[in-house]
Structure 1
Amino acid sequence: MLAQLTLRQQLTDMPGEGFEQLIHHLLSLRHPDFVPVRTHGNLGDMGADGLLLWDRVLWACYSPQTDDIGRVKRKFGSDLDKALAKRPGAFDTFRFAVNDLKGVHPELSVMMSEAQEKLRPRRVEHYGWHRLWNDVMRLDRIATEELLGRELPVQDRTYGIGLSDLETLLARLGEQRRTSEPLAVLPEVNKYKIEWNGLTGDVRGALIQGIGHSHLVERYYAGLGAPDEADRVAQGFRVYYDQVRADTDDQDKLWAALQEYILGNAAPSLNSMYCAWIVIAHFFQRCDVFDVPPDGWVPGTEDRSAA
């Protein structure tokens, strides 16, 4: 789980060159027949970022972390045309890796369909987050640490978290709380809050795991003998969330920012990361972070954007 979260965070803002290097590194670890192709002078890369010799797969890499879909489409078309012109007998599959955790842009998907018709009997394949992660999961621990550039601590008691594990983090939050207007009356927790905020995948899983232990945070504040301490810390947490939210609506980035607010920017241990999830879950349940659905809203009965 730590490896997955680390990889997702790295991919979030990874530029094109970095993404291509990551794919080269991963495929070199996974496939002995992988040939990473570099550009050379006027030749360029001859329409290929990499080749699997035995399976006759030509790789092209894209990092479309941009609103300029026209640029991405031009690169796709250019690489495909160059591959057909300069490597016509070298591949049976044109596989492109896309650094977009949410999926493929609709216009690019249309180009994929058109390219598939153009290439028959060759195949066009999309290589996105799920296939990338599946390949990472097939690496051994040493290779995974090499790919991610960090140690992956393995502990016997993954879920053995107690109040003592949380005390240091909660005390730190008390020290870094921010000043702002007093907290408004908190709305009641809505059972559809997760669905309303569109929390899916890893973020949803981390939040649900944190909720299972969030009672420990309540116990901590109950034992302090300072009735307003929880609200004062929540105030700082909400202010920080609002600042991040002003810059992005991406739930993965919001979650990563909240986790960094709690843990700092140092690489967390597995135990401290779980503790951060518990703290975020506590403030989620208090309705200090993420949006509360309108009264009466039920998933599937009304378009979220129209509410």
Structure 2
Amino acid sequence: MTRDERTISRILFQKKIHEADGQKFEDLFSAIMNYKEPDFTQIKPWGNIGDRKNDGCILGKGIYFQVHAPEDVKKSYHEIIKKIQTDFSGLQSHWGNIQEFYYVLNDKYKGVNADALQLLETIKQSNSLKECKFIRANDLENMLYSLDDDQIMAITGHIPDPANLASLDYGILNEILDHLKGKPLNNGIEKIVAPDWDEKINFNNLSINESVRLTNGYFQLGTLNEYLKNNSDFTAQELQNKISAMYQELAKSYSGSELFWELVSEVSPRSSAEYQASSIVIMSMYFETCDIFEEPVQ
């Protein structure tokens, strides 16, 4: 599967995730697990005994899964906490040899509440489990892309020829820029220490203007980091590859401040202040990691 085909298949998969509530999500999870783990068994409710708090398991290994797909995960976290407690207690009542417990939650790439995360850790410690944690949308996407191409397409559906989609903007970079645009970027999700990159600024012949913009962008990384954390490994890797490739190509013809602003223009799909500001936030991440601009010679 080419990068373009994988990017398109990812869009198809994310559409399924956003549309999958209730049983539809459980069936999507089970379809992936049936390919990934041959010994996985989906448990369907049966008569008046239900599923005994077990939506799927790898019985021989003592691994159990409970699946939940609320319409809005951010409004449902009190319900999620209560359901985790009830489901695990019910699981213990009916099943033995519980070594690992996974709460499969369709968070629709929004993340989970810290209280729910702590609850699973408490269950793990209290019951001496090997593992007890969430499986979220980004985890399912990572699992999907560990499969063979034909298995991926069986899950996502037919992948159109990228050559026939020339007018469709399906790039991950633009997806992220659209997410950042208009968001309160300085959201305080994590503490960020001011980078000490004066030497690199000088070595690359960048001015105080570019230095200030990169520093401001770096302090606004909270929303970008949260987005990447809640998405698949492919998303972060593809973004890094894209920005690095743009820089390498532009560096053949430009340098210094001119290179900086050419890169801003290349990253940003539009020449608006909003898009450019979001582009510089992304650039600040890769300036710090040395994916763009040169590291000073020691």
Query: Does TM-score exceed 0.5, indicating one fold?
Result: yes
User: Does the C-alpha gap of structure 1 residues 39 and 290 become closer, same or farther in structure 2, counting only changes over 3 Å?
Assistant: farther
Shift of 1:97: 1.6
User: Does the C-alpha gap of structure 1 residues 121 and 144 become closer, same or farther in structure 2, counting only changes over 3 Å?
Assistant: closer
Match of 1:55 in 2: 61
Q: Residues of 2 paired with 1:154 and 1:282: CA distance?
A: 20
| Amino acid corresponding to residue 63 of structure 1 in structure 2 | A
Match of 1:287 in 2: 273
Which of 2, 5, 15 pairs up with 2:8?
Answer: 2
Q: TM-score, normalised by structure 1?
A: 0.54
What SS does the aligned partner of 1:282 have? coil
**Structure 2 gap ranges (5+):** 1-6, 170-208, 229-234, 248-264, 286-298
Shift of 1:12: 3.4
Q: Residues of 2 paired with 1:195 and 1:152: CA distance?
A: 39
Of stretches 23-32 and 133-142 in structure 1, the one that deviates more from structure 2 is 133-142
What SS does the aligned partner of 1:125 have? strand
Shift of 1:143: 1.1
Which of 10, 16, 21 pairs up with 2:22?
Answer: 16
User: Is 1:207–1:281's contact at 8 Å kept on the other side of the alignment?
Assistant: no
What SS does the aligned partner of 2:104 have? strand
Shift of 1:33: 1.0
Shift of 1:4: 2.7
Match of 1:74 in 2: 82
Q: TM-score, normalised by structure 2?
A: 0.55
Match of 1:146 in 2: 154
What SS does the aligned partner of 1:97 have? strand
User: Is 1:196–1:292's contact at 8 Å kept on the other side of the alignment?
Assistant: no
User: Is 1:196–1:291's contact at 8 Å kept on the other side of the alignment?
Assistant: no
Match of 1:45 in 2: 51
> Deviations for 1:241-299, whole angstroms, at most 9, x for unmatched residues?
xxxxxxxxxxxxxxxxxxxxxxxxxxxxxxxxxxxxx999322x423558679xxxx99
Match of 2:174 in 1: none
Q: Is 1:119 aligned to residue 134 of structure 2?
A: no
What SS does the aligned partner of 2:133 have? strand
Q: Residues of 1 paired with 2:121 and 2:94: CA distance?
A: 22
Q: Residues of 1 paired with 2:15 and 2:103: CA distance?
A: 21
User: Does the C-alpha gap of structure 1 residues 6 and 193 become closer, same or farther in structure 2, counting only changes over 3 Å?
Assistant: farther
Q: Residues of 2 paired with 1:127 and 1:148: CA distance?
A: 19
Of stretches 65-74 and 24-33 in structure 1, the one that deviates more from structure 2 is 65-74
Shift of 1:26: 0.5
Q: Residues of 1 paired with 2:122 and 2:267: CA distance?
A: 45
> Deviations for 1:40-99, whole angstroms, at most 9, x for unmatched residues?
23211101110113322111112243312121112111110111001124x321112222
Match of 1:134 in 2: 142
Shift of 1:25: 0.6
Q: Residues of 1 paired with 2:276 and 2:68: CA distance?
A: 31
User: Is 1:56–1:92's contact at 8 Å kept on the other side of the alignment?
Assistant: yes
Of stretches 194-203 and 5-14 in structure 1, the one that deviates more from structure 2 is 194-203
User: Is 1:56–1:93's contact at 8 Å kept on the other side of the alignment?
Assistant: yes
Q: Residues of 1 paired with 2:22 and 2:272: CA distance?
A: 39
Q: Residues of 1 paired with 2:131 and 2:20: CA distance?
A: 27
Matches within 5 A, 1:96-245: 96-100=103-107, 101-121=109-129, 123-151=131-159, 153=161, 191=214, 196=220, 198-199=223-224, 200-201=227-228, 202=235, 205=238, 209=242, 212=246
| Amino acid corresponding to residue 145 of structure 2 in structure 1 | M
Match of 2:99 in 1: 92
User: Does the C-alpha gap of structure 1 residues 122 and 138 become closer, same or farther in structure 2, counting only changes over 3 Å?
Assistant: closer
Identity of aligned residues (%): 14
